[in-house]
Structure 1
Amino acid sequence: MPVELPELANEQWRLCIGNKWVDSNAGERIPVTTPIDQSEIATVPAGATDDIDDAYDEAATAQRKWKEMPPGERAAVLEDVTKLLQTHEDEIVSTLAIEAGSTRVKGTIEVENTGNFLEYASTLPAELRGKVGPSSIPDKENRIERDPAGVIGVISPWNFPLSLTMRAVAPAVALGNAVVIKPATETPITGGLLVAKLFEMAGLPEGVVNVVTGHGSEIGDRMAAHPDADVIAFTGSTGVGRHVSKLAAEQLTEQAMELGGNNPHVVLEDADVDDAVDAGLFGTFLHQGQVCISLNRHLVHESIYDEYVEKLATRADKLPVGDPRDSETVIGPIINESQRDELVDYIERTVAQGGEIETGGGFEDLYLEPTVLSQVTNEMAAACNEHFGPIAPVIPFASDREAIRLANETEYGLAASVHSGEISRAKDIGDQIEAGMIHINDQPINSSPRIPFGGRKASGLGQFNGEAIVKKFTEPKWFSIQTTQRTYPF
């Protein structure tokens, strides 16, 4: 098995279609820039709709053979990809820093999560067995088996590009499907081309994993609405997700969609304030807050509000800001100028609405200071929007009922955390928060490949991970076997 990766940055990449590295049919290229200093690090093809069609054609052809491969052979490919990931961890973490602005802590976590997804996926071929169901007809045996869904279209995001792409690709491939990946324009290497290269190096048959890079505005609609797509797996904003979902639904295509969040961190008066601050700091500022499950609002009981704000601001003020390649850096750059400008606007509007900056608020280039805002209400700009940045609005509440109301006053329902000295009380409040994932005495940035991951309301459709993704990426087939002659009424 070859173990040499190309130089991930500074590479003139091509599309991966049918295990061939090819130029786009349009012949145009897109520069890939780093948020560190906005310089160009590589170029990738600007894929066209014809390239999407070619990729789906190759995937559909390859999948018919791949699904017949023995489970052990499918598992072996996943195991080899896992080994390659581990062998090249340092290089991949460095590339995540350059392309996505990931600090070393975040990049290491992302590679670890990617490995977990791969290791879990490698168990799926052997575990996917049929089930025997009951029957109301004498001497009839019912068997329910699951077939691969077919071709999975994966539209992946820029914030955790490698792990959130692999979260879909690994189980899809393990279960006998083929894949077409459209990575985010900002992170085409770690979000797609690297994935294809790792599978190629592991000996995956041609056409099972395909990657088309390009602008979503030009090829996104064809990707989502392609008639050969049997499932669309999308991770991204709710606004774009609604559009993708509509296009897929017109083709009656199954969907797995993780969308936006406005995640509350509820801190009750009997909580350990230091523990809650520790969790709140990590849950807000990992990867500059550019995480769908990061903390968007800190809801803190009024009796400990001042103490919490002071401790959170003190801790945030000491977080090192700078080049993500520096091992000491905690706060790296925002992904691009438009995202940074939106964050600055949220801060300025919140201050104009009556909020106060306890620390931060300034920026240089794409580096935004970790910011703590006090005297915030749910209606203020940094609280009512999914800000997706290193901003911690802290909102006081007077009662459990008010905390629950504030937590639920959002269109989103992805994740939440509750801190209390009494687990049963925290659990009771969590039961009343309208979110798909609740974390007691922790923060929401958690993921396990065997545990269903997904939200409610405007935070998505379906779930990833565990049994949920197995059901999403396979289709049930009912076999009934009549073991004795059956008597019919006519």
Structure 2
Amino acid sequence: MSDLDLTDVDWTVQYIDGEYVPPTDDDTLSVEDPSTREQFTEVPAGTTDDVDAAYEAAAAAQEAWAAKPPQQRASVVRTVQDLLKEHRDEVLDLLAAESGSTRTKGMAEFYTAVGISGEAASFPTRMSGDHHESTVAGKENIVVREPKGVVGVISPWNFPMHLSTRAVAPAIAAGNSVVLKPATNTPVTGGLLLAKLFEAAGLPDGVLNVVTGRGSEVGDRVAGHPEADVVAFTGSTEVGKHVAGTAAQNLATPAMELGGNNVHVVTEDADLDRAVDGGVFGSFLHSGQVCISVNRHLVHEDVYDEYVERLTERADSLPTGSAHDPQTVVGPIIDESQRDQILDYVEETVDAGATLETGGGHDGLVVEPTVLSDATNDMAAACNEHFGPVAPVIPFSDDDEAVEMANSTDYGLSGSVHAGDVGRARDIADGIDTGMVHINDQPINDEPHVPFGGVGDSGMGRYNGEAVLEEFTEQKWISVQRDERDYPF
């Protein structure tokens, strides 16, 4: 058992160079529980000076950290994994209080973060190089893999701990240092919690730094700091394009996982029980606040009515309410602005001719599970990433039309296909322009050893496994001229 206590923590600090730094001039941001709208905590409103101090500390600490033996770096990350397991219930309570995570969603996020930490702990001994024959007589070519340096991480509010961990743990394991800017809504589970875990695991001062505050005030400095060698961002496409451009001005590598508009394709020969099960989970987990959730249900016209009927029945039966109730499946939206955007999309879609089968209302921040039939691809809830518990169901007549409809978006993150014949499903999946697609399943899948990312407006680069190791390291060519070389002059 560790001495770490997560039940009584003063979160009103930032974490810079191994020190917990209180707010300057008492300038703080309130963090509210989405289920109760009561203050959960408050955190410092960070400044560009705080960002500069964090990057200065990270740059100063990185070289010594990279020089540590691989087993020492692996031990720190593995200890973080152990600490997560030891404090599971406290972490789940924090996720519920800060991000409105229901028990089901919290468990999914928790175990994904645990898995990513375990995978990252293997990186220090997997950073292998290569050896190449030379075109020059007596020369040896060696390619080694080294950490890139300082990694800036800007993480979102929907899966805050998971999506911070998937960048922070691999970056640190590979020998980099990190400056982490968590989302304004989730500074604890997306940032300060990780600081506590890595500190307890024995990470040297300065290797991980956490700056809290408004992205509008410090985001550009985090993304565009001259000390940043990589900038890892997860969030909306609009903001991601700006972050990538800002990072590129300093030739930092942008690693971007952005928005999605993911389809759930159901053919006429699909097992409807499995297809509906997948559609319900894919649309309503975490109230649809998932970049890889089902945004559009594309269903063959021969089974369309039955699918809509079954999906509606299931949506009606889902328990809704507070994230603190272990029975709740559909909990609150993160805040009022997100809720209002979702409801606007639903209203616009109904005004455009769709049928509201169920839902469409809200109780506080809890938006009712909503099913929209007679939808088309150009309706607001379908063509936009609605990021809510909303399921527009759109009919198609043949596989070619399904693929064409799936691809009528600038996004390309995830998707799913249900068909009775796996070969047919594979043909459809091959035709969908997306970074990930899942057959006889739904789009919400994330495994720590499998590349995760999108194409088009859904981002650039990949997380997880060897893919993220490529993002956070670089190759260096070293040649050794063993024999004397003859030069022409």
Q: TM-score when scaled to structure 1? A: 0.98
Larger deviation: 480-489 or 408-417? 480-489
Calculate the aligned-residue CA RMSD, in Å.
Answer: 1.1
Q: Which residue of 2 aligns with 1:305?
A: 304
CA contact (8 A) 1:110 1:163 kept: yes
CA contact (8 A) 2:35 2:324 kept: no
Q: What is the one-letter code of the residue matched to 2:371? A: V
Q: Which residue of 1 aligns with 2:391?
A: 392
Q: Which residue of 2 aligns with 1:7?
A: 7
Alignment of 1:13-28 (within 5 A): 13-25=12-24, 27-28=26-27
Q: Which residue of 2 aligns with 1:68?
A: 67
Alignment of 1:261-410 (within 5 A): 261-410=260-409
Alpha-carbon distance, 1:129 to partner: 1.9
Q: Which residue of 2 aligns with 1:215?
A: 214
Q: Which residue of 1 aligns with 2:161?
A: 162
Alpha-carbon distance, 1:125 to partner: 0.5
**1:307-329, Cα deviation, whole Å (9 max, x unpaired):** 10000110110000011111111
Rounded to whole Å, the distance in 2 between the matches of 1:12 and 1:247 is 30
Aligned-pair identity in percent equals 57
Runs of 4+ in 1 over 4 A off after TM superposition: none
CA contact (8 A) 1:24 1:51 kept: no
CA contact (8 A) 1:48 1:218 kept: yes
Rounded to whole Å, the distance in 1 between the matches of 2:97 and 2:11 is 16
Alignment of 1:182-261 (within 5 A): 182-261=181-260
Q: Which residue of 2 aligns with 1:149?
A: 148
Q: Which residue of 2 aligns with 1:125?
A: 124
**1:47-104, Cα deviation, whole Å (9 max, x unpaired):** 0000000000000001111001000110110111111100100010011011000000
Q: Which residue of 2 aligns with 1:180?
A: 179
Rounded to whole Å, the distance in 1 between the matches of 2:412 and 2:235 is 15
Alpha-carbon distance, 1:404 to partner: 0.5
Rounded to whole Å, the distance in 2 between the matches of 1:98 and 1:233 is 26
Rounded to whole Å, the distance in 2 between the matches of 1:133 and 1:25 is 54
SS of 1:413's equivalent in the other structure is: coil
Rounded to whole Å, the distance in 2 between the matches of 1:8 and 1:111 is 20
Rounded to whole Å, the distance in 2 between the matches of 1:405 and 1:416 is 14
Q: What is the one-letter code of the residue matched to 1:358? A: E
Q: What is the one-letter code of the residue matched to 1:329? A: T
In structure 1, list runs of 5 or more residues that go unmatched.
none
Larger deviation: 154-163 or 30-39? 30-39
Q: Which residue of 1 aligns with 2:44?
A: 45
Alpha-carbon distance, 1:110 to partner: 0.7
Rounded to whole Å, the distance in 2 between the matches of 1:47 and 1:80 is 29
1:463 to 2:446 alignment: no
In structure 2, list runs of 5 or more residues that go unmatched.
none
Rounded to whole Å, the distance in 2 between the matches of 1:60 and 1:284 is 42
Alpha-carbon distance, 1:249 to partner: 1.1
SS of 1:297's equivalent in the other structure is: strand
**1:181-214, Cα deviation, whole Å (9 max, x unpaired):** 0000000000000001000011110010100000
CA contact (8 A) 1:97 1:325 kept: yes
Rounded to whole Å, the distance in 1 between the matches of 2:33 and 2:290 is 18
Q: Which residue of 2 aligns with 1:87?
A: 86
Rounded to whole Å, the distance in 2 between the matches of 1:139 and 1:420 is 59
CA contact (8 A) 1:26 1:48 kept: no
Rounded to whole Å, the distance in 1 between the matches of 2:393 and 2:11 is 45
Rounded to whole Å, the distance in 1 between the matches of 2:280 and 2:194 is 31
Rounded to whole Å, the distance in 1 between the matches of 2:301 and 2:224 is 49
Q: Which residue of 2 aligns with 1:98?
A: 97
Q: Residues 139 and 428 of structure 1: is their aligned pair in 2 closer, same or farther, counting only changes over 3 Å?
A: farther
Q: What is the one-letter code of the residue matched to 2:356? A: I
Alpha-carbon distance, 1:487 to partner: 2.9
**1:20-41, Cα deviation, whole Å (9 max, x unpaired):** 0012445411111010021101
Q: Residues 181 and 26 of structure 1: is their aligned pair in 2 closer, same or farther, counting only changes over 3 Å?
A: farther
**1:139-194, Cα deviation, whole Å (9 max, x unpaired):** 32211101110000000000000010000000000000000000000000000000
Rounded to whole Å, the distance in 2 between the matches of 1:204 and 1:59 is 12
CA contact (8 A) 2:117 2:165 kept: yes
Larger deviation: 29-38 or 45-54? 29-38
CA contact (8 A) 1:358 1:373 kept: yes
CA contact (8 A) 2:23 2:43 kept: no
Rounded to whole Å, the distance in 1 between the matches of 2:317 and 2:368 is 10
Q: What is the one-letter code of the residue matched to 1:115? A: V
1:447 to 2:480 alignment: no
CA contact (8 A) 2:12 2:23 kept: no
Rounded to whole Å, the distance in 1 between the matches of 2:455 and 2:142 is 32
SS of 2:437's equivalent in the other structure is: strand
CA contact (8 A) 2:100 2:323 kept: yes
CA contact (8 A) 1:3 1:84 kept: no
Q: What is the one-letter code of the residue matched to 1:334? A: I
Q: Residues 175 and 8 of structure 1: is their aligned pair in 2 closer, same or farther, counting only changes over 3 Å?
A: farther
CA contact (8 A) 1:77 1:202 kept: yes
CA contact (8 A) 1:26 1:46 kept: no
Q: What is the one-letter code of the residue matched to 2:37? A: Q
Q: Which residue of 2 aligns with 1:422?
A: 421
Rounded to whole Å, the distance in 1 between the matches of 2:47 and 2:83 is 31
Rounded to whole Å, the distance in 2 between the matches of 1:6 and 1:116 is 21
Q: What is the one-letter code of the residue matched to 1:332? A: G
Q: What is the one-letter code of the residue matched to 2:16? A: I
**1:433-464, Cα deviation, whole Å (9 max, x unpaired):** 11000101111111111111110000001111
Q: Which residue of 1 aligns with 2:114?
A: 115
SS of 1:32's equivalent in the other structure is: strand
**1:323-379, Cα deviation, whole Å (9 max, x unpaired):** 111111100000000000000000000000000111111111101100010000000
Rounded to whole Å, the distance in 2 between the matches of 1:8 and 1:174 is 29
Give the paired residue count: 489
Alpha-carbon distance, 1:250 to partner: 1.0
Q: What is the one-letter code of the residue matched to 1:21? A: Y
Rounded to whole Å, the distance in 1 between the matches of 2:80 and 2:428 is 42
